[in-house]
Structure 1
């Protein structure tokens, strides 16, 4: 059962920690090992523009996006005694999450070979920037650029633009979740653990999907198109409506296009040779866009969306963040522990294990003492000695 799993999280920032929260949501015990020299995960200090740290609560909005349901233990891995503490936890663990630059984990005594020698059932999930043999650190903004996302993103007449979320980290996290779940199934069959390694770059490239195959198959080099789609029209383009909102269409079939035109009073367009098929519409994108823009500009958003929904024409409004959470399914993805910062669920599928309540994101070193006592059986005297020698930190 996942409720029996012990996960040791040596990762920081977003990709690795989001995997840790994923397992916490599925019932696992997740112990987040943090660095006393930096007072924990660097994201604890990445405050939102409207959020200020009060000196007592170190849980920034960023930190709260992927650290619910965990226990925080502060251990200095640059010290041999600190490594020994983590090794004792690893001996009892099922999964270790790591996001060190290649070579750093070995120097800190938590390399894959070292940890696997302690526990042959252990499964290690590693995230790197460019692969296990490339020493470069992986940062989402750089990976976005290196993987082609930044080049393709932005208005046609504008500069390449970074995406507004760390999507490369998110993609790598999903790849690692999948790999770890597969490895857990394998362990049920063999009794042995192993290593799952994911690079941010390869996770990003795997997500290029049709943009990559447009190039690989047809030699087409994707260029910036704003919100338009290179293979489908009208799909993704934003159109202003009469009440000042913006509407997006996702018309993927000729039938949907005909239904759209009927609702907009453009009855002749589906039979016009320039727009009869998707290929025709892509070729004549500019005139198509002009006609739709003119028709949509005089219509009310809510009424139009209702009408299009009845006609099974995919469409939606462009929502701000407050408007996003006006939707029931979006609100259901939030975590709101009483008296603590809110967060987001990592598990977006339904099932018996999904949707369970989670403890709030931990304060730095909040659980050091309880984990050392309860998990490792350390006496107060032994813990006090580790604290005095700065091997561990307690809240």
Structure 2
């Protein structure tokens, strides 16, 4: 049994934040019914890349363990089927613009009137009072994240993945699980709301805290860290190696490992605050030592000294590393390779059973369940 066995999720979301949230619920055992328009989720057409069957890998990334039904909400018959589904569901998730669900009789008040125990989750771009389109790139820009990403003297960059969508999906899943627990205690459903901008500001953690608590507006520092040093890629004899020193004992071990133990006793570098204040001089001294050996040799030396370090891998190498470590990163969902859910639960393991569905693949069986044949 999964942790959420018996929970029915009506998933009216599309693209990434909502579908990622509902896939996590599905992995935990929920029966997620993916409601799509007749043209399908946008990500079905986001190509390239595609798998051997021509299906977009973006869509495959966030839609396993779901059943699909195509409903045209502008059609009265299909809209009524959607409302019946909402009446039967334990959870409803959508990321349409504010006001869109209400036009089809599927707003929170509509659903709560017929299904008062339902947990209703709304994901928006900029909150319930804004109809600005909620695309990850826009929020990375407007939240301040892009202002922090890139070289100090270069243009701002977006992250290499839609991190705000993913983090918003995680927040939504957390809120849904909390609301389900509350329902188990009280028998009452509730409205869970989150939005990409709020999730972005929360996820910027120390950077937003620098401003709201310290009055400091952070700026781009490339690969350097605002508060830690050394904590960046560093050139070696044949390439770069990540070195991540988070405290003074680690720095002392680093200094010894590179053959310069005197650096740990130097008053300029003895504490994190002093290393930050004198990072340019320290960088020069570290690079001079690191240039003496290749990256892989330094990696072995630093690993033996229990100093956080590692190579800069590409995605293939990252997957290979997880495989070497026994993490089994690839899970075959209905024969389709997907990335394994990162949770391990000893009593209620996550599942990877159903392949990401074809459009309306389960439409007939879901309509029969709804009595809409």
Report the counterpart of residue 16 of structure 1 in structure 2. Answer: 18
Give the TM-score of the pair, scaled to structure 2.
0.94
- Determine the C-alpha separation between the residues in 2 that align with 1:278 and 1:61: 43
Structure 2 residue corresponding to 1:233, chosen from 195, 213, 229: 229
Question: What residue number does 2:358 align with?
Answer: 363
**Equivalent residue of 2:67, what SS?**
strand
Q: CA deviation at 1:140?
A: 0.4
Superposed counterparts of 1:265-304, under 5 Å: 265-304=259-298
Residue by residue, what CA displacement relative to the aligned partner does 1:26-76 show, whole Å, maximum 9, x if unpaired?
11111000001xx10000011234x37x8xx56310001110000010000
Structure 2: distance between partners of 1:7 and 1:347: 21
Comparing 192-201 and 84-93, the one that deviates more: 84-93
Preserved contact between residue 18 and residue 346 of structure 1 (Cα < 8 Å): no
Structure 2: gaps (5+ residues): none
Q: Give matches, 1:71-90, under 5 Å.
A: 71-90=67-86
Q: Which runs of 5+ in 1 are unaligned?
A: 383-395
User: Of 162, 168, 174, which residue of structure 2 is paired with 1:166?
Assistant: 162
Query: What residue is the counterpart of 1:178 in the other structure?
Result: 174
State the Cα RMSD in Å: 1.8
Cα distance in 1, alignment partners of residues 173 and 188 from structure 2: 18
Q: Hey, what does 1:324 align to over in structure 2? A: 318
Q: Secondary structure at the match of 2:35?
A: strand
Q: How does 1:128-147 map onto structure 2 within 5 Å?
A: 128-147=124-143
**Contact 1:140-1:166 within 8 A present in 2 as well:** yes
| 8 A Cα contact 1:152 1:223, kept in partner | yes
Secondary structure at the aligned position of 1:227 is classed as coil
Contact 1:44 1:58 in 2 (8 A): no
1:386: which partner in 2?
none
Q: How does 1:39-188 map to 2 (within 5 A)?
A: 39-49=39-49, 51=50, 57=53, 59-188=55-184
8 Å CA contact 1:247, 1:316 repeated in 2: yes
Aligned residues: 369
Q: What does the per-residue CA deviation read over 1:155-202, in whole Å, with 9 as the maximum and x for residues that have no partner?
A: 111111111111111111111111111100100111111110001100
Residue 280 of structure 1: how far off its partner (Å): 0.7
- In the TM superposition, residue 331 of structure 1 has moved relative to its aligned partner by 5.4
Any idea what the Cα deviations from partners look like across 1:326-363, whole Å, max 9, x if unmatched? 123585232224643x2223443443323423211001
Question: Which residue number corresponds to residue 28 of structure 2?
Answer: 26
Partner of 1:263: 257
The answer (yes or no) to whether the contact 2:64–2:352 under 8 Å persists in 1 is no
| Offset, 1:89 | 1.5
> Are the equivalent residues in 2 in contact too, given 1:324–1:330 (CA < 8 A)?
no
**1:109-146 alpha-carbon deviations (Å, 9 max, x no partner):** 22111111121111111100111111112110010011
Which residue number corresponds to residue 393 of structure 1? none
Provide the C-alpha distance between the structure 1 equivalents of 2:97 and 2:275, rounded to a whole number of angstroms.
47
Q: Which residue of 2 aligns with 1:348?
A: 343
Contact 1:325 1:331 in 2 (8 A): no
Provide the C-alpha distance between the structure 2 equivalents of 1:145 and 1:330, rounded to a whole number of angstroms: 37
Equivalent in the alignment of 1:391: none
Q: Distance in 1 between matches of 2:125 and 2:346?
A: 33
TM-score normalised to structure 1 length: 0.89
Equivalence for 2:210: 214
In the TM superposition, residue 268 of structure 1 has moved relative to its aligned partner by 1.8
CA contact (8 A) 2:332 2:352 kept: no
In structure 1, C-alpha distance between the alignment counterparts of 2:213 and 2:170, rounded to whole Å: 26
Measured in 2, the distance between the counterparts of 1:296 and 1:76 equals: 62
Distance in 1 between residues matched to 2:351 and 2:87, nearest whole Å: 28
Q: 1:134 to 1:369 in 2, by over 3 A?
A: same
Match of 1:35 among 33, 37, 42: 37
Q: Provide the secondary structure at the position in 2 that maps to 1:292.
A: helix
